[in-house]
Structure 1
Amino acid sequence: MNIIYLVFGNKMDNYQQVYFSAYTAFAHKNTEDRIIVVAEDPSLFHSFQDEIEVIPISRELIKEWEGKYQFFWRVKIKALQLVAEKYPSDSILYLDGDTFFYDRMDALREGMKNGQNYMHVEEGKLSKLSSKTERLMWSQMKEKTYFNVKIDENSTMWNAGLIGISPKHFDCLGLTLGINDAMCADNVPRRLIEQFAFSLGLNEFSALKPADHVIGHYWGNKPEWNQIISHFLKEIFMKDYSLDKIIERIKQMDLAQIPIRVKESSTQRKLKNFIDGFYKNKKPVYIRK
């Protein structure tokens, strides 16, 4: 099984998240599992040495992968197609960087070997979801058909922080890409296009199952997790831990004590932004050469 991460751009938090998630994967994977990072800056993963495979991608390739409609998250679909072509017999377990393993992945591995596809968690039927983007998507797409997949009241949105694909069903990636591009051409609101395209494309080949019993996804509490991860990485690099020592340290952490989602006060956020914008630091002093 290939455990896959994708990271591009120059935001260091994103690379740190992949580091931490990969370490949790080491703590729970089997010897035959392979960790692959598709990265725009492969030099940031030299510390793993030969323990992971890094596939470099250029800025030019990323722009090509964004396609005709220059859709940012189309890159995820293309990256998975790249790995599927390289390893056509191995299951794909893709993870966003803001994830972590907290249990063994044996059931996922066996499920994909037997033809099961997974996404992180079911969010609900598009026709019943309540966010502004989801309501707009439903009003625009209901009863339409994209690549022979009809959008109806049972069409379900799944969270794409995890994508598990059986090698028996790699053709679902082509279907996902086609649906994604068709929705872009139809000017569907972009925020959730890639996620919904994966939900539809994978489900056509295998009724999706959730994987949140194995993987945590902290998209709803990134600031706290980023701080914890930054502290963790400082510790292991400053103390020059071996990989075995890092894995031991990961196993000691009680990740269930850190919330994966918190409800942020919109009033607090607006006040903070107002105060930060109103009060600026003054009279900076620099060294003289």
Structure 2
Amino acid sequence: MSMLSLYAWTENASDKISFILYTDNEKYFEPYFKDIQITFVNLTPEVLADWKGKDNFMFRVKVKAIQDATIKYPDNDVLFLDSDTFLYTDSGPLLAMYGQDKTILYAREYSFNEAVSKGGRNSSLFLPVIKNNKIRIQGLEFEFSGNNYSWNTGVIGFSHKNLNLIDLSLELTDYLYERVKVFVIEQYSFSLIFQTQTNVQASDKYVYHYYSRKKPVDEYVLKFVSEVVQLNDLNNKKIFVKKFTADLFEKIKTNPQWEDRPVLMDKIKLLIERKGDVRILKHVLSIIKNKLLMRY
């Protein structure tokens, strides 16, 4: 749905976009991309093991996949999409954002100082690693701080003139993950490199990343894949995809409770695992309070 939505919402997409899909199940995806230019890269167990690196970090695979695409197609601009994203409007303004001094991420979330002050565990573990510390990467010296922001990286876009950003992000990911095992390290690395080297622009006006609403949205994704695969005519497929994703985005906007349910359940599970951590308990109570206020 992510890739087909980009295709459907892009005018003359066949002339502008070449897809690369990293998967361990190419045959599953082939029927969905009939008559659409796409390259499949087979993620074998050996490739995955190599890309996870010496610390077996799963999200390092994301950085390596993007780097692999830049090596294969060094003259192309890159737009990476997490699988739980979809476009819901015309992509023209999004694809016009590229430039040597401009990069694209999904949305700005929080400064590390803000997160720590609110009891954010990931930022609390992470901030001491970068605070008052000069980090040298590929001959460049970086000084990051708690005033830097974490950006959601469900979308990552950059010009072919900025391929070095990925090499820097990968090396920073390895440097940071070796020192603190926070699962969002690759996101922090992209955020720090992109915002200190370029002007970062948000893409959430064109793309929706449903990472906090997977459970309810997945029901629509299953419906999407079962219906779109039956459409062989490319024009009819584009019409269907545009309507489906636009309607789905409207449904999401009018169902705010979709976000609370999965988040609340995840937090309750975490609360049990950590045997009543006060910070998590406060977060659970805050979600419940907001839910009650919304209802009454």
Class of the TM-score when normalised by the shorter of the 2 chains: 0.7 to 0.9
Query: Whole-Å Cα distance in 1 between the matches of residues 186 and 108 of structure 2?
Result: 15
Rate the CA distance shift 1:226–1:115 in 2: closer, same or farther, 3 A: same
Whether 1:223 and 2:225 are equivalent positions in the alignment is: no
Residue from 218, 241, 244 that aligns with 2:235: 244
**Counterpart in the other structure of 1:193:** 185
- Range moving further from structure 2, 195-204 or 146-155: 146-155
Residue from 147, 156, 172 that aligns with 2:165: 172
Residue from 35, 60, 65 that aligns with 2:19: 35
Rate the CA distance shift 1:175–1:114 in 2: closer, same or farther, 3 A: closer
Whether 1:25 and 2:6 are equivalent positions in the alignment is: yes
What amino acid is aligned across from residue 65 of structure 2 in structure 1? A
Residue from 243, 259, 262 that aligns with 1:262: 259
Would you identify which runs of 4 or more consecutive aligned residues in structure 1 move more than 4 Å? 267-271
The Cα RMSD (Å) is 2.3
Matches within 5 A, 1:131-210: 131-147=120-136, 148-186=141-179, 188-210=180-202
- Range moving further from structure 2, 90-99 or 197-206: 197-206
What amino acid is aligned across from residue 249 of structure 1 in structure 2? F
What amino acid is aligned across from residue 56 of structure 1 in structure 2? N
The structure where helix makes up a greater share of residues is: 2
Normalising by structure 2, what TM-score?
Answer: 0.78
Count of matched residue positions in the alignment of Structure 1 and Structure 2: 251
Q: CA deviation at 1:57?
A: 2.4
Structure 2 counterpart SS, 1:117 = strand
Structure 2 counterpart SS, 1:259 = helix
Post-superposition CA distance 1:1-39 (Å, at most 9, x none): xxxxxxxxxxxxxxxxxxx11221121123321122111
Structure 2 counterpart SS, 1:262 = helix
**Counterpart in the other structure of 2:61:** 75
Provide structure 2 residue ranges, at least 5 long, that are not aligned to the other structure.
Answer: 273-296
**Counterpart in the other structure of 2:34:** 49
Rate the CA distance shift 1:79–1:242 in 2: closer, same or farther, 3 A: same
Query: Whole-Å Cα distance in 1 between the matches of residues 129 and 198 of structure 2?
Result: 26
Q: Is the Cα contact below 8 Å between 1:133 and 1:189 reproduced in 2?
A: no
Rate the CA distance shift 1:108–1:240 in 2: closer, same or farther, 3 A: closer
Query: Whole-Å Cα distance in 1 between the matches of residues 210 and 45 of structure 2?
Result: 27
Residue from 72, 94, 97 that aligns with 1:86: 72
- Range moving further from structure 2, 133-142 or 95-104: 133-142
**Counterpart in the other structure of 1:7:** none
Post-superposition CA distance 1:169-200 (Å, at most 9, x none): 110111101110111221x1322100001111
Provide structure 1 residue ranges, at least 5 long, that are not aligned to the other structure.
Answer: 1-19, 275-289
What amino acid is aligned across from residue 263 of structure 1 in structure 2? D
Rate the CA distance shift 1:68–1:250 in 2: closer, same or farther, 3 A: same
Q: CA deviation at 1:241?
A: 4.5
Query: Whole-Å Cα distance in 2 between the matches of residues 206 and 225 of structure 1?
Result: 33
What amino acid is aligned across from residue 25 of structure 1 in structure 2? L
- Range moving further from structure 2, 151-160 or 175-184: 151-160
Identity of aligned residues (%): 24
Rate the CA distance shift 1:162–1:171 in 2: closer, same or farther, 3 A: same
Q: CA deviation at 1:270?
A: 5.9
Query: Whole-Å Cα distance in 2 between the matches of residues 267 and 194 of structure 1?
Result: 25
Rate the CA distance shift 1:194–1:270 in 2: closer, same or farther, 3 A: closer
What amino acid is aligned across from residue 132 of structure 2 in structure 1? E
